[in-house]
Structure 1
Amino acid sequence: MDAYDYESLADRVILVTGGGRGLGAAICKLLAQEGAQVAVVDVNRISSSKVADEINQTGGAAHAFTMDVTDEQAIIEVLQRTVDQCGRLDAIVNNAGVDVTIGIREMETSDWHRVLATNLTGPFLLAKHGLAHMSSGGHIVNIASTAARRAWPNASAYHASKWGLMGLTHALHAELRVMGIKVSAVIAGGMRTPFLLDRFPDIDVDLLQDPDNVARAVKFVLTQPAQTVIPEVMVLPMKETSWP
């Protein structure tokens, strides 16, 4: 783009991790509807391809990539392939996340490392290596959780990762502003996605929000005027139970 249009997603190239299902898929589809070219990145090749195919079949533009966000070399390669296929990189949405619901006495050390590697180190690596491809006007959006604002039992690794992600977000916001790079966190309350529904089949879905609504918040953050950045925004269902 000759003149960067901050208030439009048209022609922007946006990479979304965990894009194969749930919130990630909702983000990919909405951004594509708004004219962005989307790199759908997921650890599951079939899932990322399915979302990309749905976008392309409905007139959008998407490319599917298979990548584990804990694999630094894979991140470097997929970032380069995105730029090679799309021409540039304008934004990264760090959405991929995992959780393990277990008390600290029973938690394996490997579980701790897996959650931290996916939810915190992954966004760090995407930002670190993504900056090589971003110019002024770029944007990094980290998907956080109400787990970054309060705590409940049997989720120590998840809480640590999401509180850490908020710290990373604000640190990069302070560091990268001078380069014209925006950094934001979208703190999402409970959603009707496999992330919750697969693990808690008895959960009351009426207390959860549609992931499309959180995707709208991502779009909102990405389309602020040049002079404005939103460091964080919280999006809750009206009946949110994990927040007062």
Structure 2
Amino acid sequence: MQELNGKVAIVTGGGRGLGEAICRMLGADGVITIVADIREELAEKVALEIQSDGGKAQALRLDISDAEQVESAISKIVSQYGHLDILINNAGVDVTLPIEELNVTDWERIIAVNLNGPFIMSKFILPQMKQQGKGHIVNIASTASKRAWANASAYHASKWGLLGFSHALHVEARPHNVKVTAIVAGGMQTPFLLDRFPDIDINNLQDPKNVADTIRYVLRQPEGTVIPEVTVLPMRETSWP
């Protein structure tokens, strides 16, 4: 298994929820962790707590839908550390409404964050990884990329698209020794669900730390092995057979 110590990773949406759990996991494993979030105060809090636990982390305010901002941020990270080894495309948003009530602005924002964002991040990071001759891009998909339910048309469109993009990127990156993995995650005990559905049964949801541990497993695979897709479900997942 590969060691993660000393690698440099950027995690989008790292300020809370699954992103925070991933950042803490990486920090504990000795990864220099860039906690990227559009909400800088959340990113700062996570980065400072990782540092207080003995890890190496820094906060980065980043709008992943802004290509110029992303390109500039990636350039600065590479200049600072000399390499960029791991990208976790985790940031995600949703608006839970039937299609006739979903306005165009909300649709465009969901697609911009959930689908365009991972494309933009990958577009500017992949050349660096190809130059290094190694790297790993992890895309956080969802059971919403495999199934469909009412009042989530934009979210489904973005996650089905992300899963397809992830597999296409795997095909492009693999000849350059760059790995790409899609994590199909089931429901988690995170603000993404709990803030919007206060009556949800928490017993049907998994701890985001469990998903972060799966990502650790994927990242630590030997150099000659890649896992293109893995599904991680709570035992009582309601959106899956």
Q: Deviations over 1:142-186 (max 9, x none)?
A: 000000010000000000000000000000101111111100001
| Residue 74 (structure 2) aligns with | 79
- How many equivalent pairs are there? 239
1:239 alignment partner AA:
R
For the Cα contact (< 8 Å) 1:23–1:211, is it kept in 2? Answer: yes
Unaligned 5+ segments in structure 2 are none
* Match status 1:10 vs 2:9: no
After TM superposition, give the deviation of residue 87 of structure 1 in Å.
2.7
1:153 partner SS: coil
Q: Deviations over 1:49-105 (max 9, x none)?
A: 000000011100001100111111111111122223333100100000000101111
* Match status 1:90 vs 2:80: no
State the alpha-carbon separation in 2 of the partners of residues 59 and 80 from structure 1.
26
1:83 alignment partner AA:
V
2:59 alignment partner AA:
A
1:118 alignment partner AA:
V
* Match status 1:21 vs 2:16: yes
* Match status 1:185 vs 2:182: yes
Q: Which residue among 30, 34, 43 is the counterpart of 2:29?
A: 34
* Match status 1:209 vs 2:206: yes
2:141 partner SS: strand
1:7 partner SS: coil
| Residue 167 (structure 2) aligns with | 170
Q: Which residue among 125, 128, 131 is the counterpart of 2:126?
A: 131
- Runs of 4+, deviation exceeding 4 Å: none
| Residue 240 (structure 1) aligns with | 237
1:89 partner SS: coil
Give the TM-score normalised by the residue count of structure 2.
Answer: 0.97
1:19 partner SS: coil
Unaligned 5+ segments in structure 1 are 1-5
